[in-house]
Structure 1
């Protein structure tokens, strides 16, 4: 369980997006990566959570280019989609 209040807040926001697909995408990304984020990366993720789910999903699927401030390693990792757990 997360003990850091900021990480708890980010966890909740990442997992409660409004649609199951967005919860899986954004929440799964948080779960897979938050442990080694710096303060700057946390702030960038927090800013990304302010964006619309359809935009975040389009960036992850490569159907739209992210704004310059989000371009880079975070979006590159988001695009891998290998952090999403799916039952088989």
Structure 2
């Protein structure tokens, strides 16, 4: 091959630069997907825990005020005595003598 060494070096460095740009783009895409998935998980966790709600005070943002749960939400939660009624399992059969 009668290619000048300078041109060959220029072509090799250009190809390596293009490969590095593509790799950095793919890494950025993976990072954005990871960040999106983790923020979605955090949002879902916050939605699943309605017992503790925070009310922000515009004057004092460092000390949040927590609201108690709503009355309807408390009524849905069974009491300790009601747990026995919910967990009604059939009694085991009597032992045969």
Query: What's the TM-score once normalised by structure 2's chain length?
Result: 0.19
Higher helix share: 1
Query: What's the TM-score once normalised by structure 1's chain length?
Result: 0.21
Higher strand share: 2
